[in-house]
Structure 1
């Protein structure tokens, strides 16, 4: 589910952002959300022996905060992009004209 959620955010890859830094941050966080669950599962199922625990533990300890931070950054970016909406977003829609029987 986390990969699907990240994939949905990757759909905005070519969307326009106010600054290049926001676009880059969005792309990095979307890739982090998409790939972090796979990194987590890779670490759990690959490094089974006790000798490889020194590799497994740092991966697990980094992947969880990375995922949480990427989600939080995307949430903040989502609301900050509302400060620069196109002019069409402020036009009122005449709903009555869209209903044919009125």
Structure 2
């Protein structure tokens, strides 16, 4: 057996781990803007909800998929079909719009930056071709 080839169960666990970590990091990074300035209070509230959802939904996903590790296809279909469908429904209804909002609002908020954000700093003035 090739030492670099993972068993199907190990590959499944590794895949779930990568999905979970990347999704949680995405939401966690956006939590740093919790107290940032937003154009409206509604956008600030939506940002906070979206960032929390971006962290919370991966936990739901992992909680419903950990029992599937090592199960056969027949077992999965019989035991977890409804739970999996509900989880995927939550992801489609809540998680995807939250991620889209965070990305879109990140770019949209650049338009509303205060004028001080566009001033050159003294450090930049000393770098050739930038100052």
Which TM-score bucket, shorter chain as reference?
0.7 to 0.9
Match of 2:94 in 1: 66
Structure 2 SS opposite 1:92:
coil
RMSD over aligned Cα atoms: 2.5
Unaligned runs of 5+ in 1: none
Q: How much does 1:46 deviate?
A: 4.7
Q: CA–CA distance in 1 between the matches of 2:77 and 2:111?
A: 51
Unaligned runs of 5+ in 2: 1-21, 69-75
TM-score normalized with structure 2 length:
0.62
Assess, with a 3 A threshold, how the Cα gap between structure 1 residues 51 and 2 changes in structure 2: closer, same or farther. Answer: closer
TM-score normalized with structure 1 length:
0.77
Aligned residues: 99
Q: CA–CA distance in 1 between the matches of 2:32 and 2:117?
A: 21
The counterpart of 1:5, out of the listed 26, 30, 37, is: 26
Q: CA–CA distance in 2 between the matches of 1:11 and 1:89?
A: 18
The counterpart of 2:65, out of the listed 41, 44, 65, is: 44
Match of 1:81 in 2: 109
**1:30 and 2:51 correspond:** yes
